[in-house]
């Protein structure tokens, strides 16, 4: 926390927010997998690395592959955090309601990942199932969108 009257830098706030939402998203993905299958998602980082390496190579494992998956996961979370923070002062609509905008941003991130990012990877395509997409939107809204929206709102209010 900062002392009263001090100002956090934009870079520091983005970094802290990105690390938080990356961690929340990873925990949410693991919890979601456990709820769906009853099995802990211990290979989730290997799966993420499979986007670059292909699943056959990535599932062979190793700490290096897990670190690659962790890097990609946090890189993506940080990228969406940076995007929101940069757009926030330019698009006044982003300040109307922290929770609504955060939930919508989570849905946007989910759709962008599904339609733009994942097709560029070596991961197998998944069929679109509306009920599953809705759950993904909710998870990303809670784990990523709302925290990003909240911290951006706080930052720009404190740093006018």
pLDDT tens for residues 3-33?
454 568 999 999 999 999 999 999 998 988 8
User: Which are the contacts of 14, defined by CB distance < 8 A and separation ≥ 6?
Assistant: 78, 81, 82, 85
pLDDT at 3: 46
- The mean pLDDT value for 47-53 works out to 95
Number of residues that this document lists for the chain: 160
Confidence of residue 38 (pLDDT cuts 50, 70, 90): confident
Per-domain boundaries in the chain: 10-158
The answer to whether the beta carbons of residues 17 and 151 sit under 8 Å apart is yes
- The mean pLDDT value for 89-108 works out to 96
**pTM as predicted:** 0.90
């Amino acid at each position: 926390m900062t002392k009263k009257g001090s100002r956090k830098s934009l870079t520091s706030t983005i970094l802290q927010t990105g690390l938080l939402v990356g961690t929340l998203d990873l925990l949410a993905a693991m919890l979601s997998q456990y709820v769906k299958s009853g099995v802990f998602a211990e290979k989730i980082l290997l799966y993420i690395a499979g986007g670059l390496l292909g699943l056959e190579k990535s599932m062979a494992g190793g700490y290096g592959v897990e670190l690659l998956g962790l890097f990609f996961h946090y890189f993506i979370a940080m990228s969406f955090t940076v995007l929101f923070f940069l757009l926030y002062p330019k698009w006044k609509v982003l300040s109307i309601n922290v929770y609504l905008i955060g939930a919508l941003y989570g849905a946007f991130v989910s759709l962008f990942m599904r339609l733009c990012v994942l097709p560029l990877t070596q991961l197998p395509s998944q069929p679109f199932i509306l009920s599953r997409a809705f759950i993904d939107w909710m998870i990303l809204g809670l784990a990523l969108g709302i925290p990003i929206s909240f911290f951006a709102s706080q930052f720009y209010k404190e740093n006018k």
